């Protein structure tokens, strides 16, 4: 049951939630009783920003207004309150591009509606009310605390994957993003069908991925070892890109993004890959100056004229909730 003692009813709520990059799954086979297991990183620069106020009837305005109205109805039903609120969206991350835009929007709407009505719930409980977290739990973990997040996979009987670990990501490091506005990653029924049609995810592959995480990626983050983290991300992304290649017609959803990342790799950058189903590609760069220089070079290259390049830092914070 919702906790109505943990928060007071308020007139308006503003929420700023960071976007996330999905860095890969650990086990789609589920041989130990849990499937998926995800790695994620909260990033600056693609925040979801909205304000929710009381209203006589449900309403939403701004980018992704239709999805916001749908989430408002789901949240109201799950919380046992009326959906009488107006959602004014100032910004969202690009949909179906690898930023987790749906989960962050859904959690922001649900969190704001709960706060309006004096209800205190965890992000995990809020996610259940709006039907998010069907595979990965990292969107929930990032909404709560940001940073680098690891979840423990989803049980066969359902529920949202538990967050096992959250680590701060080194503030000096940057992620170079390659965006292709002409492509969208798989989503909805197409995504579900793709997961059903994927080849067997064998234990040897899962073992290699888990070894990279436990013995290279996580120690590298704790010790701020850029080379170790880059090698781990690159190795995992190659394995997973090849595994998903049949569903997305190659290691990368967007061939142009793949070409741009090849140009980045030619500079000796090894921590490259794709967020979720893409099309957004990513490259881990050791500092801002180097990242901006590479982004400028790529942006000036006619081969990549259809792409957009952005340099972002990690967001070592969760969603900001401001009640008025």
Structural domains of the chain, count = 2
pLDDT digits (tens, 9 = 90+) for 153-178: 999 888 899 999 999 999 999 999 99
Residue 219 lies in a domain: yes
pLDDT at 107 over 90: yes
Q: Which CATH number goes with the domain that contains 278?
A: 3.30.70.890
Check whether residue 156 and residue 192 sit in a common domain: no
Q: What is the DSSP letter of 120?
A: B
Give the length of the chain: 324
Query: Which domain does 36 fall in, by range?
Result: 12-169+316-323
pLDDT at 254 over 50: yes
* Percent of residues, the chain, with pLDDT higher than 70: 98
E strands in 189-280: 272-274
Check whether residue 128 and residue 190 sit in a common domain: no
Q: Where are the alpha helices (DSSP H) in 47-197?
A: 65-79, 101-116, 123-129, 138-145, 188-197
CA dihedral 193, 136, 132, 2 (to 10 degrees): 150
Check whether residue 215 and residue 190 sit in a common domain: yes
Check whether residue 96 and residue 165 sit in a common domain: yes
Residue 135 pLDDT level (bands cut at 50, 70, 90): confident
Contacts of 146 (CB under 8 A, 6+ apart): 18, 42, 314, 315, 316, 317, 318
Query: Could you tell me the pTM of the whole model?
Result: 0.93
């Amino acid at each position: 049951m919702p906790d109505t003692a943990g928060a007071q009813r308020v007139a308006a709520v503003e929420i700023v939630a960071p976007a996330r990059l999905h860095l890969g799954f650990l086990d789609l086979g589920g041989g130990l009783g849990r499937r998926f297991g995800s790695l994620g990183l909260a990033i600056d620069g693609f925040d979801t920003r909205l304000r929710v106020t009381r209203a006589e009837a449900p309403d939403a305005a701004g980018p992704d207004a239709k999805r916001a109205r749908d989430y408002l109805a789901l949240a109201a039903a799950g919380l046992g309150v009326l959906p009488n609120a107006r959602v004014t969206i100032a910004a969202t991350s690009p949909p179906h591009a690898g930023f987790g835009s749906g989960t962050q929007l859904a959690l922001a709407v649900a969190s704001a509606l709960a706060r309006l009505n004096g209800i205190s719930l965890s992000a995990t409980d809020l996610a259940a009310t709006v039907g998010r977290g069907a595979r990965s739990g990292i969107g929930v973990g990032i909404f709560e605390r940001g940073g680098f997040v690891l979840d423990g996979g989803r049980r066969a009987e359902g529920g949202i994957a538990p967050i096992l670990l959250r680590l701060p990501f080194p503030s000096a490091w940057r992620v170079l993003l390659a965006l292709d506005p002409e492509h969208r990653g798989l989503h909805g029924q197409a995504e579900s069908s793709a997961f059903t049609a994927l080849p067997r995810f064998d234990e040897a592959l899962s073992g290699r991925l888990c070894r990279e995480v436990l013995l290279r990626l996580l120690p590298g983050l704790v010790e701020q070892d850029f080379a170790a983290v880059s090698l781990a991300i690159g190795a995992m992304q190659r394995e997973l890109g090849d595994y998903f290649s049949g569903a997305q017609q190659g290691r990368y959803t967007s061939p142009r993004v793949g070409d741009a990342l090849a140009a980045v790799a030619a500079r000796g950058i090894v921590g490259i890959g794709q967020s979720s189903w893409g099309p957004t590609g990513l490259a881990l760069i050791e500092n801002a100056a180097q990242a901006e220089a590479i982004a400028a070079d790529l942006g000036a290259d006619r081969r990549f004229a259809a792409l957009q390049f952005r340099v972002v830092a990690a967001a070592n914070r969760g969603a900001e909730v401001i009640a008025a």
